[in-house]
Amino acid sequence: MIRNPFTLQDIVSWIGICSIAFFFTSINFFTAYYFTEIQTISLRQEAETISAAMTKEIANALLVENSYRAWEVMKRFQKSNSEMMYGYVIRDGKVTVHTFEKKVPDVLLRLYRTRSNKFLEYSTADGIPLIEIRQPLLGGALGTLCVGFSQEQVFNRQRRYILMTSLVMAIALVLTFIIARWVGLYVGQPLLDLAHKVREVPTGKVNAEDIPLERGSYEVRELAGAVRDMVVELRRLEVETRIAYQRMLASERLAAIGELGAGLAHEVINPLDGVIEGCRQLKRSEHISPERQMRYLELMESGLQRIERVMRQMLEFARGPSEEVHLQHLTAEELVAGTVELLAIKFKQRRIEFNMEILDHPTVYCDRQLISQALLNLLLNAADASEMNEEHKIRLQVSQVDPFWTELRVEDSGPGVPAQLREKIFTPFFTTKDPGKGTGLGLSMARQFVRHSGGDLTLAKEPSPFGGACFIIRIPAAANENSRIKP
């Protein structure tokens, strides 16, 4: 390994000296040859700004044929800008307003007629260099505003600037070596060490106490202290964000549980009535045949199993997804069956025509709880949207679009999503529902669930076949388990 024979202090010192010498030499050379041109450009920009500001006020005055008001505007700008020498308005070859004591010089009128440039440079009889800018008033309908500016200060600035830079260069060359060595010793290395620590912060390997506060110059120590405070704040925000995230999940789950309450009661009461009736029949019938007893017991067992299945699904949903992602292979039927069963009664109560199509019976690789939660949110939103129109229809279509991805399409007959809201619907707390009827978290949380499971949730560009919205959950197929989208 070849070692660099120069220390950081040596490199910074020599680079500093050479840079300063080159910098100031270049400035002097640049000043001598190009300063005038640059200052002229700057004067042009300033002149254009001033004339543009004047144009509107003068145009307003001339629209009402108030030439005196236009003259006052030009005099006011001339008084507030020392480099402005004159101004006049010419229309159809005639001067209508001007700031000259007697009249516009003939030389200016000849130049106006012979040269149509926006900027015109010339010198007066006294040798004063001037630049004139021309601005049309109201597209030329009210004539052209011509404003003249002196360039004499440009050359004065050039001389002063060359003198100043020469003096500064001499001083800078003396101080550069000392300053550069100090920078290398007290700034360079401590900053590199601090940068290394900062890069390790996102990995969790570096905490606030690992950042030193005693090395380097005062500025470096202050920066290290600010970085330490930032790390402390980041760690605190991470905890608060995690807590807020869990609260958001709980809030959204509670809202969905409220939506499912009536349907859940129906799912429990119906089979429970059958169980109670079977118990009554068994108690009252003294001479019931064993076959009939077995039939009653089978019906009672079936009802209790149905209650157990519904309650287990609701309990699983109420607990919500865990912080860890549990990926598994599932058939499409296994993925959506529980969610559809929870919502079936609700759809019937709200007289919503629900259809489910599973094409090709694909196998997916995802987190069941996360996708079920996202699908439930989408179906509840679809139910609310479909009730806004006379036709209440929802369709869930599952298909494998290619060997690597499976899509779950939730289509409704609602009014759809307006174009101006397409970019906002996945924003947390954004909702189009009436106050008190939506948390604004459903779609944003659904997208987070899907992305944590390695997929994505999008809104289709085209409306659904029923004229409403079409949301697409895209999750990896079983063959694509190694190509998940990282959340």
| CATH code for position 113 | 3.30.450.20
Place of tokens 């118990």: 279
Identify the CATH number of the domain in which residue 365 sits: 3.30.565.10
> Which pair of structure tokens corresponds to residue 130?
């001037």
d(C-alpha 95, C-alpha 109), whole Å: 9
Q: Is 404 helix (H, G, I), strand (E, B) or coil?
A: coil
Indicate whether 230 and 330 sit together in one domain: no
H helix or E strand, kind and range, residue 235: helix 218-284
Indicate whether 95 and 28 sit together in one domain: yes
Measured between alpha carbons, how far is residue 397 from residues 362, 402, 465 in Å?
Answer: 12, 15, 12
pTM above 0.75, yes or no: no
User: Which segments of the chain have a pLDDT < 70?
Assistant: 1-13, 28, 30-36, 180-181, 183-185, 188, 245-246, 248-271, 273, 277, 281, 284-287, 296, 306, 309-310, 312-323, 429-430, 432-441, 479-487
Indicate whether 145 and 231 sit together in one domain: no
Of the candidates 255, 259, 263, the one whose C-alpha atom is nearest the C-alpha of residue 349 is: 263
The dihedral sign for the CA sequence 115, 118, 121, 125: positive
Indicate whether 89 and 221 sit together in one domain: no
pLDDT for the residue numbered 433:
67
Indicate whether 439 and 343 sit together in one domain: yes
Give residues with Cβ within 8 angstroms of 12, minimum separation 6: 180, 181, 183, 184, 188
291 within domain boundaries: no
421 within domain boundaries: yes
Of the candidates 46, 41, 75, 45, the one whose C-alpha atom is nearest the C-alpha of residue 58 is: 75
Indicate whether 365 and 433 sit together in one domain: yes
What's the distance, Cα to Cα, between the start and end of the chain in Å?
42
Neighbours of 75 (CB within 10 A): 12
Q: Is 357 helix (H, G, I), strand (E, B) or coil?
A: strand
d(C-alpha 102, C-alpha 400), whole Å: 87
177 within domain boundaries: no
Indicate whether 344 and 446 sit together in one domain: yes
Place of tokens 């129906």: 266
Q: Give backbone dihedrals phi and psi of 82, rounded to 5 degrees, phi first.
A: -65, -25
Domain count, the chain: 3
339 within domain boundaries: yes
300 within domain boundaries: no
Indicate whether 333 and 455 sit together in one domain: yes
Indicate whether 151 and 15 sit together in one domain: yes
d(C-alpha 51, C-alpha 313), whole Å: 74
Indicate whether 218 and 116 sit together in one domain: no
Quote the crossing angle between the two packed helices 189-200 and 218-284, to the nearest 10°: 0
Indicate whether 84 and 214 sit together in one domain: no
195 within domain boundaries: no
Indicate whether 225 and 80 sit together in one domain: no
Q: Of 255, 279, 294, which residue sits at a domain end?
A: 255
Range(s) of the domain holding residue 85: 8-158
Of the candidates 444, 245, 456, the one whose C-alpha atom is nearest the C-alpha of residue 366 is: 456
129 pairs with which residues across the strands?
123
C-beta of residue 72 within 8 angstroms of C-beta of residue 60: no
Q: Say which amino acid occupies 341.
A: E
Of the candidates 278, 456, 453, the one whose C-alpha atom is nearest the C-alpha of residue 370 is: 453
436 within domain boundaries: yes
Q: Of 197, 226, 255, which residue sits at a domain end?
A: 255
Q: Say which amino acid occupies 332.
A: A
Give residues with Cβ within 8 angstroms of 448, minimum separation 6: 487
27 within domain boundaries: yes
C-beta of residue 33 within 8 angstroms of C-beta of residue 162: no
Q: Give backbone dihedrals phi and psi of 90, rounded to 5 degrees, phi first.
A: -125, 130
pLDDT for the residue numbered 425:
83
Place of tokens 């605190």: 236
C-beta of residue 366 within 8 angstroms of C-beta of residue 331: no
